[in-house]
Amino acid sequence: MKTLKKLIFVCTLILTFTAAAQEEDSTLNQETEEGIDASKPTNFYSFIDNTLEYSNQKNQNVFGYRGKVTLALSEAHLVLAEVPLLYNDRTDKFGISDFRARYFWLPYKNYDKVFGAFGPSIDIFAPTGSFDDGLGSGRWIVSPGITVGLMVAEWIQFFPILSYQYASKPVYDNPLPEADMATHGLSFQVITPIVFSEKFFVQLTPIFKLNNFNDERNDRFEQEVFANYTLNPKMQITGFYSGKFEDENHTVSAGLTIFF
């Protein structure tokens, strides 16, 4: 019940941001003469993502569907809601995983400059997935961050993101003593779009994470690769890989993005 009340509070907060942004600017999509350019994470669009994913983890496999709705309220305001439906073959359980909500504010963008974009964001993960069933983290996670855009060349740019991460104490019953505490960490990643043509681009994202300031052994390096191909002006297909090498966790997915 406490989790549900907190989730309702998060949704109310997002709706408040939504109303404020709509009053400020009613522009919903930022389409240039060349069409949608989704290679830059600081270009805001409204779309629905439908993704099938498979994750090979130590002692278990998790796979299923991940649905995401992203709304560009204006050129400077974006909100996102993501709901995964997953199956864990170790526990033989299927259900909702952790709900994610995001708000991104972009007060500055000028791609004619080397320093081409700047904006803060906040991600919130609600523990709606069962930890005992292997479907969720069992913690509230709040991660505010800062994104910068560096326009190096027309075919390649860099988008460094520095984020702080707070993870609450476990909300599930009877956690292990060493896990029964809140954690504080940092992550640094660089989204690197490489544009091969008007229809095809790849994003390479190396990530360094310090998951817990009190435990240096939780430092992690991860690598993500995202590929996107445009089928038509309103539809794109995507592929994704994430490698969390120290944890022996590898995820692949394929998706269909529909803009509106």
Q: Which domain holds residue 81?
A: 2-259
Q: Give the tokens for residue 5.
A: 């009340």
Counted domains in the chain: 1
Taking all residues of the chain, what is their mean pLDDT, rounded to a whole number? 89
CATH of the domain at 37: 2.40.160.40
What digits encode the pLDDT tens for the residues 119-163? 999 999 999 999 999 999 999 999 999 999 999 988 899 999 999
Q: What is the pLDDT of residues 224-259, one digit of tens each?
A: 999 999 999 999 999 999 999 999 999 999 999 999
Out of 28-37, 50-59, 94-103, 187-196, least confident range = 28-37
Nearest Cα to 226, choosing from 258, 188, 193, 181?
193
CA dist., res. 62 & res. 56, Å (int): 7
Structure tokens at 241: 């890989």
How large a percentage of the chain has pLDDT more than 70?
86
User: Residue 153 is which amino acid?
Assistant: A
What is the pTM for the complete model shown?
Answer: 0.85
